[in-house]
């Protein structure tokens, strides 16, 4: 099954084109060494939250935007093989040379980690609109979360969603300043889910929302339903809408 390496990155708004240029130059190294798909998605519809949000996740400054990004690998072993070569590549490949391809953001506040998909449904769509999520889930609720995610997918796909990936924390480090755990204010016994939903366009995504809210199947997820008990704390879930600015794929015959 696909393995996901997820990132959230604070980038000065003025550096948007520099970020794109940096990614377009450096990201192909990952494709050449095991990754099959890379997405760099610039914030589009991301709001400040009461408890958590994407801005707080990376201690974003007022003049910074948030990038929601991920790499897809055919399996965990492919990602581990690449990680084992990173020191060599950093030394030998000039696309990683900070002199020739300087990093246009504060890497110390970037958060990243490896995630194993629990749910992977739908088909890949070129140039999709992306909804990104970070979710704190009690470790013991893994099966319940998967069941809920599949139930939500059944609704979303009927209203235009083309793909969903719900990826369970697997290799996620603790950081000194920022990390996925701080992003959702994870409590003892909770893990982090890195999730994204792909749509044909923002218009399709926005148009689906009201229709979904009217769908009777949504009652199983609504807080006013006494029988509904979500398997996570939705008040600490981080979410937002993003537009891809870099999309790289390996051809099937290359993967």
Q: Quickly state the pLDDT bin for 132 (edges 50, 70, 90).
A: very high
Q: Quickly state the pLDDT bin for 1 (edges 50, 70, 90).
A: confident
Quick one: average pLDDT of 100-124?
97
* Distances, alpha carbon 112 to alpha carbons 50, 68, 85, 240, 246, in Å: 23, 10, 18, 17, 18
Domains in the chain: boundaries:
3-249
E-only strand ranges, 149-189: 161-171
Q: Give the residue carrying structure tokens 């390496």.
A: 5
251 has pLDDT over 90: no
Q: Describe the crossing of helices 142-158 and 202-214 by its angle, rounded to 10 degrees.
A: 110
Q: Two tokens at 62?
A: 């007022």
Provide the CA 32 distance to its chain's centre, in angstroms: 22
CA distance 182 to 109: 12
CA distance 91 to 196: 33
The reported pLDDT for the residue numbered 220 is 77
225 has pLDDT over 70: no
Backbone torsions φ then ψ of 198, nearest 5 degrees: -105, 140
Mean pLDDT of the chain: 94
Q: Give the residue carrying structure tokens 């996901």.
A: 4
**pLDDT > 70: percent of the chain:** 95
Quick one: average pLDDT of 8-18?
98
Do residues 157 and 204 lie in contact, with contact meaning Cβ atoms separated by under 8 Å?
no
Q: Quickly state the pLDDT bin for 34 (edges 50, 70, 90).
A: very high
Quick one: average pLDDT of 127-133?
97
Do residues 240 and 46 lie in contact, with contact meaning Cβ atoms separated by under 8 Å?
yes
Q: Which helix (H) or strand (E) holds 14?
A: none
Whole-structure pTM value = 0.95
Q: What is the fold, at CATH topology level, of the domain defined by 3-249?
A: Alpha-Beta Plaits (3.30.70)
Q: Two tokens at 239?
A: 């979410």
CA neighbor of 191 nearest in space, from 145, 229, 224, 148: 145
pLDDT (tens digit, 9 = 90+) per residue, 194-208?
999 999 999 999 999
Greater confidence (191 vs 255) lies with 191
* Distances, alpha carbon 78 to alpha carbons 26, 101, 112, 177, 247, in Å: 18, 25, 17, 28, 20
Burial of 107-129, coded b for 16+ CB within 10 Å and e otherwise, reads eebbbbbbbbbbbebbeeeeebb
The reported pLDDT for the residue numbered 226 is 55
Do residues 43 and 242 lie in contact, with contact meaning Cβ atoms separated by under 8 Å?
yes
The reported pLDDT for the residue numbered 125 is 87
Q: Quickly state the pLDDT bin for 228 (edges 50, 70, 90).
A: low
The reported pLDDT for the residue numbered 54 is 98
Do residues 138 and 190 lie in contact, with contact meaning Cβ atoms separated by under 8 Å?
yes
The reported pLDDT for the residue numbered 229 is 78
Q: Quickly state the pLDDT bin for 152 (edges 50, 70, 90).
A: very high
140 has pLDDT over 90: yes
């Amino acid at each position: 099954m696909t393995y996901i390496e997820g990132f959230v990155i604070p980038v000065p708004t003025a550096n948007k084109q520099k970020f794109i240029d940096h990614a377009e130059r450096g990201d192909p190294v990952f494709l050449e060494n095991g990754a099959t798909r890379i997405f760099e998605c610039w914030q589009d519809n991301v709001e400040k939250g009461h408890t958590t949000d994407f801005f707080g996740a990376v201690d974003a400054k007022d003049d910074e935007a948030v990038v929601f990004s991920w790499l897809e690998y055919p399996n965990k072993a492919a990602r581990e093989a690449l990680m084992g070569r990173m020191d060599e590549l950093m030394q030998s490949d000039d696309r990683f040379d900070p002199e020739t391809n300087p990093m246009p953001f504060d890497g110390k506040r970037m958060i990243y980690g490896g995630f194993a998909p629990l749910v992977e449904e739908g088909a890949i769509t070129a140039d999709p609109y992306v909804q990104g999520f970070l979710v704190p889930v009690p470790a013991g609720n893994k099966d319940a979360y998967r069941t809920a995610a599949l139930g939500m997918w059944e609704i979303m796909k009927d209203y235009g969603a083309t793909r969903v990936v719900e990826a369970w924390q697997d290799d996620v480090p603790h950081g000194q300043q920022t990390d996925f755990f701080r992003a959702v204010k994870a409590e003892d016994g909770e893990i982090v889910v890195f999730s994204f939903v792909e749509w044909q366009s923002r218009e399709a995504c926005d148009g689906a929302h009201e229709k979904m809210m009217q769908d009777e199947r949504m009652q199983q997820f609504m807080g006013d339903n006494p029988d509904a008990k979500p398997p996570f704390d939705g008040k600490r879930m981080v979410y937002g809408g993003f537009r891809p600015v870099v999309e790289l794929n390996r051809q099937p015959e290359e993967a």
